[in-house]
């Protein structure tokens, strides 16, 4: 474990000095800034798009819950897609370029190499989600004059946990599948399976598949099952994915 801080520092420097420091934060920033104003004008926009001579579509005035719902929707869809693609080569790229073999010639365990990556990038994703949620909170407060924090932060916390689950799966797939495109496809497949599984009530209530749906209900202030079981099983699934990634990576042949 003495090598963990050094490997973690290497990962942090790679984030700071590469495109990773810009892409995910930029995507989240755009949604955080534009989400509340779009939620505010959506009822008027839909009414204005109704052809003349037809009865106008009348929606109730937008509230902070609409802005929160827009934020939860963006996090659970486009931001998660971006995370899957961004981290599709998190291990395989370093294996292909020889960086992993070079690092492992030092007194660094392969388990440390994998867990340090998971830890640093999980902290990075959590920081980006927190920053985006703060901006959404402030923007919503300015536009709607009301922005109770519990609904927003409860929803964002659950979706952040779901993002960390996908990060764990992407690290596993990047160990198993050499091509980043293949790992991205596997990640999108897991996302699709979880989305479909969430439509089945037992999986919705007790598995990670229920996290996005419950997070959306929390954001909208709607009734929902207890998030305890989905959160617990998500943590277990993420831990198992990282453990399996370590297991496979320890038996993987690396070319110097």
How many whole angstroms separate alpha carbon 2 and alpha carbon 202? Answer: 43
pLDDT for residue 48: 75
List the chain pLDDT tens, one digit each, 256 residues. 678 999 999 999 999 999 889 999 999 999 999 999 999 988 877 777 766 666 666 678 889 999 999 999 999 999 999 999 999 999 999 999 888 888 888 888 999 999 999 999 999 999 999 999 999 999 999 999 999 999 999 999 999 999 999 999 999 999 999 999 999 999 999 999 999 999 999 999 999 999 999 999 999 999 888 999 999 999 999 999 999 999 999 988 876 5
The CA–CA distances, whole Å, from 39 to 47, 66, 129, 139 equal 14, 6, 20, 11
pTM over 0.85: yes
pLDDT for residue 52: 63
Q: In the chain, what is the straight-line distance between the N-terminal and C-terminal CA atoms, in Å?
A: 23
Query: Which residues fall within 8 angstroms of residue 77, CB to CB, at 6 or more apart?
Result: none
How many whole angstroms separate alpha carbon 61 and alpha carbon 39? Answer: 10
pLDDT for residue 37: 93
How many whole angstroms separate alpha carbon 9 and alpha carbon 194? Answer: 33
């Amino acid at each position: 474990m003495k090598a963990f801080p050094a490997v973690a520092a290497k990962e942090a420097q790679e984030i700071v000095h590469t495109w990773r420091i810009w892409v995910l934060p930029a995507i989240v920033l755009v949604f955080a800034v534009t989400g509340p104003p779009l939620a505010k004008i959506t009822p008027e926009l839909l009414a204005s798009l109704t052809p003349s001579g037809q009865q106008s579509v009348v929606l109730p005035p937008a509230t902070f819950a609409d802005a929160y719902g827009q934020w939860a929707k963006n996090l659970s869809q486009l931001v998660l897609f971006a995370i899957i693609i961004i981290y599709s080569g998190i291990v395989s790229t370093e294996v292909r370029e020889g960086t992993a073999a070079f690092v492992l010639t030092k007194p660094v365990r392969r388990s440390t190499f994998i867990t340090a990556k998971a830890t640093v990038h999980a902290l990075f994703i959590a920081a980006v989600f927190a920053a985006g949620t703060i901006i959404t909170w402030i923007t919503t407060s300015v536009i709607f004059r009301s922005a109770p924090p519990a609904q927003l932060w409860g929803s964002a916390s659950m979706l952040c946990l779901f993002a960390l689950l996908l990060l764990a799966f992407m690290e596993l797939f990047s160990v198993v599948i050499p091509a980043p495109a293949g790992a991205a496809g596997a990640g999108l497949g897991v996302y699709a399976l979880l989305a479909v599984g969430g439509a089945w009530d037992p999986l919705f209530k007790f598995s990670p598949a229920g996290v996005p749906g419950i997070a959306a209900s929390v954001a909208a202030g709607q009734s929902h099952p207890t998030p305890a079981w989905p959160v617990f099983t998500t943590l277990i699934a993420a831990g198992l994915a990282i453990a399996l990634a370590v297991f496979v990576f320890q038996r993987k042949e690396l070319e110097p």
